[in-house]
């Protein structure tokens, strides 16, 4: 059975996916910590919520990929303040797909993403 924290992270992921579909950068980034780190499927690394939000704004202003993350595993730490998420990602409008992992941190009762790593498998 899923814990309340696991369900909260799943809900945050679903909301994030929904915001991507709407090209809503503010909606996606509300789930990121200020020092969020994102490693893209090509191995490039970007640090900081503001910089990544700017990158996403640019991406969405062009012919952007619409992608979603589908969690397979969410594990809450014994201390209850960090979590591990892993699953698959895919473009809904292109052939690209792969695996991802995310680290979540509970800050003032709210789950936020600290890091995301994407690996392209095609």
Q: What is the pLDDT of residues 47-70, one digit of tens each?
A: 999 999 999 999 888 877 788 999
Could you list the beta-strand ranges (E) of the chain: 32-39, 45-47, 67-76, 82-91, 97-107, 110-120
Tokens linked to 105? 């941190």
Q: Which of 63-67, 75-79, 90-94 has the lowest mean pLDDT?
A: 63-67
Across 89-95, average pLDDT: 86
> String of b and e for 30-63 (b: at least 16 CB within 10 Å)?
ebbbeebbbbebeeeeeeebeebbeebeeebeee
Tokens linked to 65? 């990929």
What is the reported pLDDT for 114? 98
Residue 20 has pLDDT above 70, yes or no: yes
């Amino acid at each position: 059975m899923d814990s309340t924290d696991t369900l909260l992270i799943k809900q945050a992921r679903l909301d994030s996916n929904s915001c991507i579909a709407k090209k809503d950068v503010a909606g996606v980034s509300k789930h990121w910590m200020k020092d969020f780190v994102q490693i893209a499927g090509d191995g490039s690394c970007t640090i900081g919520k503001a910089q990544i939000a700017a990158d996403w704004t640019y991406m969405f202003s062009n012919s952007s990929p619409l992608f979603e993350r589908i969690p397979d595993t969410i594990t809450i730490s014994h201390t209850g303040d960090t979590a591990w998420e892993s699953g698959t990602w895919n473009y809904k409008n292109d052939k690209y797909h792969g695996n991802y992992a995310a680290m979540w941190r509970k800050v003032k009762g709210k789950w936020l993403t600290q890091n995301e790593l994407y690996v392209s498998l095609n």
